[in-house]
Structure 1
Amino acid sequence: MKRPVLLLLSWMCFCGLLQPKLLVVTVATEETDGFRRFLRSAKHFNYTIKVLGRGEKWSGGDSMSAPGGGQKVRLLKAALQEIKSEDRIVLFIDSYDVVFASSPKELLRKFQQAKHKVVFSSESLIWPDRHLEDKYPHVREGNRFLGSGGFIGFLPNVREMISNWTGGDSDSDQLFFTKIFIDPARRKSINITLDHRCRLFQNLHGALDEVVLKFENGRVRARNVQYDTLPVIVHGNGPTKLQINYLGNYIPNTWTFETGCTVCQENLRSLSTEYPLVLIGVFIQQPTPFVSVFFERLLKLQYPKDRLKLFIYNQEAHHEQQVSSFLQDHGGLYRDVKTISPEEEMDSTASRDFAFDLCRKDKECDFFFNLDVEVVLKNEDTLKILIEQNLPVVAPMITRVGRLWSNFWGALSADGYYARSEDYVDIVQGRRVGVWNVPYVSNVYLVKAGLLRSQLKDRDLFSSQTLDPDMAFCHNVRSKGIFMFVSNMQTFGRILSTENYQTKHLHNDLWQIFENPTDWEERYIHENYTRIMKDKLIENPCPDVYWFPVFTDVACKHLIEEMEHFGKWSGGGNRDTRIQGGYENVPTIDIHMNQVRFDKEWRKFLLEFIAPITEKMFPGYHTQVGSASWTVLKF
């Protein structure tokens, strides 16, 4: 086609007399989680995508550590030579870390308003050769430097631009395009400009403080507050993968205040025909309260026992009796059981790698379900819910009672540790409900076994010289481009505090009324306690004496056994050195609560569960619990 005709076509497109045909081209040698997210965003706005390099080995280098990407230019050059229709507008973008935020109509309108034949994305940071900075043209406003992760242009101009490419696959595509742009003659000949104010493209590297989410009229966009623009395409280039993951939780309309989560019910796995086989890894790494209750809940998990295998790692001799009791009574229900006891001296990091390897080598294993013993899994359908989500790594959100502590992080600091994302509190407190792409999960999560045999086949995923096992695992998952998710679509449970748990008593859980009050109440307070006034469960056997349900049978049993275990009963005489003055007017055979160091816990119990009842039974009196010695009598 003659050049005057091309100019006429371009002029007619700019004037709106012709509707240009948009061709979106990207390179994806692997179908990663990021690529699937890119396609989902394209589908949302009805973009048609041409994917280059499928099934081809990536040899374009690692742009995170060194320049590369030449393979993309080679593939694009070959693809454009096959296109016959000269009136096409070509959008060439990365895909693994890119999402569309608006429609092709807006993209083309903004491209036409740029009044150039080729428009590249822009950056505030120069890469890969900072010595070329002086050769860049100066700009009055906006980013000055070219970004090669996205550009749009008329097919003839793009074809001309890359016609001289002769580089290798590992050569720098950004350097190639930069040298074209900083050459005044070529820049003018091809008619190239940069999207200086991020109207079409938003590169996040160097611009994280400029980009915020904008919620308006049931839509969500990324807004550049520096230039007050709404980019059509958002690119998490360089070290901003976590930030694009965060934005991708909302864009394009993935979650809005009006609709909530719009994709949480997509691509679900049905359990109507067959239950996949799951290896549950239980990890006991420190003295933990309510371990017996943990195993009771594990038994109640609503999943066929013949489709479950158990791996139990116990590092604490204190809990050996509870593990063996559970296995003796119920181990035969499961398809298989493997245990590691304290005597085997396997450290916690090795135990997690070992557990993954058990699933990896087992051809029957479909999922690995990590379950730390401090997890209080109240939702008996948790495992089924996570499997149905059909995600690579997914955790049920659990929190610590009364605190913002949870089993996920919304963001990471520069050194790879915890940082709070803008939406963290809203997610933890349930004001935003959905399935969220996050950089870190721990304690309880489900992993597809297929990943353990492919991208996560390294057998030291939890090992690191600087990171703890959970952080090392999540770092390795992120480095493979695998997404981790946390769901707060339902209430799943909570996590225990283990910080001040002591093991010097017979029934140490009795002392948890301060550290884990909810679990203490569930274990030791009678199920009818909250109904005693409403349902008139209080009995009055004689004047001013009232009976009502307050303790469970387990509480009574534990208190009795604790005192018998202590065994230092008083002699029942008047002389009693335990009390001030040493004389007891009404002697009994007893043990004082302070003798077993339970006096603070007992006072808390009286204030929380007895005082409210006495104040209702004796109107006008305020109950005070003093510091007197409380006593357990022996009958």
Structure 2
Amino acid sequence: MAKMSCSRIYSQLFCCILVGSLMTISLVLAANPPPAYESEITIKKPTVFIPILARNKAHTLPHFFGYLERLNYPKDRITLWIRADHSVDNTIPMLREWIQRVAHYYHTVDYAFEEHPQVYALEKGPHDWPSARFNHLIDLRDQALQEARNVWADYFYTMDVDNFVWEQNILDVLMSEKKTIIAPMLQSTTYYSNFWGGVTSKGFYKRTKEYVKIVKRNVTGVFKVPMVHSTYLINLNHEATDKLTYKPLKDYAQDLDDMLTFAHSAKKAGKS
């Protein structure tokens, strides 16, 4: 189970920060200026769209819910999009119970559950990934991203339900960096984390010295990396994100995997 360290990483897929000008419109009052309190304007927090995809995760959901509920962010500025299917454990009943308890705190909770079938065709076990499973996951992730755009969300914050981010201010921390795609670095009991430090010429994972330094926290800060996955934040106000997709693009030539298809899409969007 991964926990967030103090290090933060972001994807090099977007190296440019899109900067726009702000135009202030003022009205001059000839007399009787408004009381001082009228000039104290409170700005609402950006809206955040959080997709939750769960399958056979009854053992991690209580921990995931705990960290999610403790986020130091206004829940009425958060939209939850929850999908669950192909589960043989108590995942769906647990989701139903949790939604019933907390839905009124959030801006919107959109959910859909499929209790049958419980397994994929040709699936050899819960850790097996036949192409049907990858295709379904890619479709769900892409639907979530499109729905975030449809509801005009400012940010898309995706977390796998076996990722536990203990930092309560994580959304504000990530937003403050003003990156297009940014992720908190997750730690595990091994060198596994939610980013790649390098890729091969064919776009596959490559272990690098820089990766080890970051994971071991020999260095801290914000780092450019070729891929982030599992838990990350996308600023949907950046124009380049309109071209993001989890679907394989026509020139995609790697294995079918939602991490790889998304990274390829982001790289293409960053170059356009």
What's the TM-score once normalised by structure 2's chain length?
Answer: 0.71
Task: Write the deviation string for residues 313-367 of structure 1: whole angstroms up to 9, x where unpaired.
Answer: 223432001111110111111000111312488921111000000111112x100
Q: CA separation of 1:457/1:36 partners in 2, compared to 1, >3 Å: closer, same or farther?
A: closer
User: What's the offset of the Cα at 1:302?
Assistant: 0.9
> In structure 1, what is the Cα distance between the partners aligned to 2:241 and 2:197?
23
Q: CA separation of 1:410/1:286 partners in 2, compared to 1, >3 Å: closer, same or farther?
A: farther
> In structure 2, what is the Cα distance between the partners aligned to 1:409 and 1:349?
20
Contact conserved, 2:157 with 2:234, CA < 8 A, in 1?
yes
What code does the residue aligned with 1:370 have? T
User: What's the offset of the Cα at 1:422?
Assistant: 2.1
Q: Which residue does the alignment assign to 2:113?
A: 341
Q: 2:147 aligns with which of 358, 361, 365?
A: 358
User: What's the offset of the Cα at 1:400?
Assistant: 1.3
Q: Which residue does the alignment assign to 2:155?
A: 367
Q: Which residue does the alignment assign to 2:269?
A: 480
Unaligned runs of 5+ in 2: 1-12, 19-41, 118-134
Q: 1:411 aligns with which of 198, 201, 208?
A: 198
Task: Write the deviation string for residues 198-228 of structure 1: whole angstroms up to 9, x where unpaired.
Answer: xxxxxxxxxxxxxxxxxxxxxxxxxxxxxxx
Q: 3-state DSSP class of the match of 2:193?
A: coil
Q: Which residue does the alignment assign to 2:3?
A: none
Q: CA separation of 1:459/1:444 partners in 2, compared to 1, >3 Å: closer, same or farther?
A: closer
Q: Which residue does the alignment assign to 1:292?
A: 62
Q: 3-state DSSP class of the match of 1:404?
A: coil
Q: 3-state DSSP class of the match of 2:242?
A: coil
Q: Which residue does the alignment assign to 1:426?
A: 213
Q: Which residue does the alignment assign to 1:304?
A: 74
Contact conserved, 1:353 with 1:461, CA < 8 A, in 2?
yes
User: What's the offset of the Cα at 1:296?
Assistant: 1.8
Q: CA separation of 1:36/1:361 partners in 2, compared to 1, >3 Å: closer, same or farther?
A: closer
Q: What does 1:434-513 correspond to in 2, within 5 Å?
A: 434-451=221-238, 454-458=239-243, 460-463=245-248, 466-481=255-270
Contact conserved, 1:285 with 1:348, CA < 8 A, in 2?
no
Q: 3-state DSSP class of the match of 2:46?
A: coil
Q: Which residue does the alignment assign to 1:521?
A: none
Task: Write the deviation string for residues 527-579 of structure 1: whole angstroms up to 9, x where unpaired.
Answer: xxxxxxxxxxxxxxxxxxxxxxxxxxxxxxxxxxxxxxxxxxxxxxxxxxxxx
Contact conserved, 2:145 with 2:156, CA < 8 A, in 1?
yes
> In structure 1, what is the Cα distance between the partners aligned to 2:116 and 2:170?
31
> In structure 1, what is the Cα distance between the partners aligned to 2:17 and 2:83?
36
Q: Percent identity?
A: 26
> In structure 1, what is the Cα distance between the partners aligned to 2:56 and 2:225?
27
Task: Write the deviation string for residues 154-205 of structure 1: whole angstroms up to 9, x where unpaired.
Answer: xxxxxxxxxxxxxxxxxxxxxxxxxxxxxxxxxxxxxxxxxxxxxxxxxxxx
What code does the residue aligned with 1:481 have? G
User: What's the offset of the Cα at 1:374?
Assistant: 0.8
Q: 3-state DSSP class of the match of 2:186?
A: coil
Q: Which residue does the alignment assign to 1:390?
A: 178
Task: Write the deviation string for residues 222-276 of structure 1: whole angstroms up to 9, x where unpaired.
Answer: xxxxxxxxxxxxxxxxxxxxxxxxxxxxxxxxxxxxxxxxxxxxxxxxxx84310
> In structure 2, what is the Cα distance between the partners aligned to 1:302 and 1:337?
18
Q: CA separation of 1:332/1:314 partners in 2, compared to 1, >3 Å: closer, same or farther?
A: same
User: What's the offset of the Cα at 1:415?
Assistant: 1.4
Q: CA separation of 1:405/1:33 partners in 2, compared to 1, >3 Å: closer, same or farther?
A: closer
Q: 1:282 aligns with which of 52, 62, 69?
A: 52
> In structure 1, what is the Cα distance between the partners aligned to 2:108 and 2:266?
28
Q: CA separation of 1:395/1:293 partners in 2, compared to 1, >3 Å: closer, same or farther?
A: same
CA RMSD of aligned residues (A): 2.5
Q: 2:165 aligns with which of 369, 377, 390?
A: 377
Q: 3-state DSSP class of the match of 1:369?
A: strand
What code does the residue aligned with 2:270 have? G
User: What's the offset of the Cα at 1:456?
Assistant: 3.6
User: What's the offset of the Cα at 1:449?
Assistant: 1.2
Q: Which residue does the alignment assign to 1:399?
A: 187
Contact conserved, 1:357 with 1:459, CA < 8 A, in 2?
no
Q: CA separation of 1:325/1:473 partners in 2, compared to 1, >3 Å: closer, same or farther?
A: same
Q: CA separation of 1:354/1:420 partners in 2, compared to 1, >3 Å: closer, same or farther?
A: same
Number of aligned residues: 213
> In structure 2, what is the Cα distance between the partners aligned to 1:325 and 1:36?
41
Work out which structure has the larger RCO, using CA pairs closer than 8 Å and 6 or more positions apart in sequence.
2
Q: CA separation of 1:274/1:297 partners in 2, compared to 1, >3 Å: closer, same or farther?
A: same
Q: Which has the larger radius of gyration?
A: 1
Contact conserved, 1:353 with 1:459, CA < 8 A, in 2?
no
> In structure 2, what is the Cα distance between the partners aligned to 1:273 and 1:326?
30
Q: 3-state DSSP class of the match of 1:341?
A: strand
Q: Which residue does the alignment assign to 1:323?
A: 95
User: What's the offset of the Cα at 1:35?
Assistant: 5.6
Q: Which residue does the alignment assign to 2:32?
A: none
> In structure 2, what is the Cα distance between the partners aligned to 1:310 and 1:407?
22
Contact conserved, 2:57 with 2:162, CA < 8 A, in 1?
no
Contact conserved, 2:14 with 2:266, CA < 8 A, in 1?
no
